[in-house]
Amino acid sequence: MRILAIDTSCDETSVAITSRRRVLSNVIYSQILLHKKWGGVVPSIAKRAHEERIDFVVDETLRKVGNKNICSLHNIDAIAVTQGPGLAVALEVGIKKAKELAKKYNKKLISVNHLEGHIYSAFVQNSKGNPKRDFKFPYLALIISGGHTEFVLFKNHLDYEIIGSTLDDASGEALDKAAKILGLGYPGGPVIERLAKEVGNIDFHNFPRPMLKSKDLNFSFSGLKTSFYYFLNGQDGKGAHVNQNIKQLASSFQEAVFDTLIKKTEMAIKLTTINQLIVVGGVVANLRLRKLMRDLISKYHGEVLFPPYKYLTGDNASMIGVVAGFKAEKDLFIKNIDELGRIPRMSLNKFDSI
């Protein structure tokens, strides 16, 4: 089953062609440069950029397969699309295009939850079928991105339960906001990682670790951002510590976020007694975090899986196509194409396969 998958959930226009877990072609047209000067994603700009680029990205994805047999939509078996959660006006562009293609070429349509996509990103393979990771259920999955910080029990294929979430800012969002406060631009994660590394990832300031005392698996990062802001500017906004070393600030902030993620993950391992870990989403591009996660899991004699290729950490359509492949095997196609709409909320309380 060859699937053409579309993801326009935030600020990347992405289309992929997949066959089971293999990616035959994947194109990601990033909008980062358009949003950079605003310090975050601007919905109206995202929508327009998706609309302007989606046809080009579909064509380019088909062209890049490089195999005459499947480089036309006629040779595709089904269309998959991210239904949500995500930025509403952005999601709608992908959904509209998927419906249009499904009708025009008479293809079946599969909708995919974006979070499912991130979870399966750890199992996506290249066109040669590598890496060959077997599924060893159950897994404890941690999704950490600009929009999400969630613990999910991944019990079996397409079978999940959310067991912890952020109550406010996501972990990537916290890094982005700290970078903005420091005048480092958007996105914040990569630049904070680089500056922190230059000072040995040392925790100089010991900022608060939110929610560590709570007995549940929820997170809250907005208080950390506020204390960071007050530390820098003083409660009275008079710039108490504005001249602090920026690398030390970045390193300390990153350590506060990561220490919280690690301690909560340890709590989740103990509560669930699962030591098979999946850590996915944009923030796991960070090598410091990967090391901390590896150190943690070795204490519990378990295994941690990250997305095997860097492009799979951020938003991409390959992971959506791979989920769609598993859904197709279970005949989970959309019954009435006209009924497919976006999920109206940013995050789902009940996380089930749509």
Binding residues for Zn ion, rule: CB under 5 A, are 145, 315
Residue 146 binds which of ligand KG4, Zn ion, none (CB < 5-8 A, kind-dependent): ligand KG4
Rounded to the nearest 5 degrees, what angle is found at the Cα of 273, between the Cα atoms of 270 and 276?
110
Q: Which two tokens stand for residue 220?
A: 């809250």
Q: Which two tokens stand for residue 132?
A: 């060959």
Q: Which two tokens stand for residue 312?
A: 């799979």
Closest CA to 182 of 30, 76, 39, 331: 39
Residues 291-320 binding ligand KG4 (CB under 6 A) are 314-315
Sign of CA dihedral 347, 352, 118, 83: negative
Residues 215-244 binding ligand KG4 (CB under 6 A) are none
283, 297, 319, 340: which one binds ligand KG4 (CB under 6 A): 283
Cβ distance to ligand KG4 smaller for residue 323 or 328: 323
Residue 176 binds which of Zn ion, ligand KG4, none (CB < 5-8 A, kind-dependent): ligand KG4
Q: How many angstroms separate the CA atoms of 168 and 220, rounded?
A: 6
116 binding ligand KG4? (CB under 6 A): no
Percentages (nearest 5) of helix, strand, coil residues in the chain = 45, 20, 35
User: Residues 241-280 vs ligand KG4: string with x where CB under 6 A?
Assistant: ----------------------------------------
To Zn ion, the closest distance from the beta carbon of 146 in angstroms equals 7
CB atoms within 10 A of CB 201: 18
To ligand KG4, the closest distance from the beta carbon of 176 in angstroms equals 5
User: Residues 181-210 vs ligand KG4: string with x where CB under 6 A?
Assistant: ------xxxx--x-----------------
Residues 6+ apart with CB under 8 A from 126: 22, 23, 309
146 binding ligand KG4? (CB under 6 A): yes
Q: How many angstroms separate the CA atoms of 17 and 79, rounded?
A: 9
Q: Which two tokens stand for residue 134?
A: 């077997």
On whether the CB atoms of residues 124 and 307 are closer than 8 A, the answer is: yes
172 binding ligand KG4? (CB under 6 A): yes
Tell me how far CA of residue 101 lies from CA of 5, 13, 78, 81, 304, in angstroms: 11, 16, 10, 11, 38
To ligand KG4, the closest distance from the beta carbon of 59 in angstroms equals 24
Cβ distance to Zn ion smaller for residue 6 or 296: 6
Residues 4-33 binding ligand KG4 (CB under 6 A) are 10
Cβ distance to ligand KG4 smaller for residue 202 or 329: 202
Which stretches of the chain bind ligand KG4, using CB under 6 A?
10, 145-147, 172-173, 175-176, 187-190, 193, 281-283, 285-286, 314-315
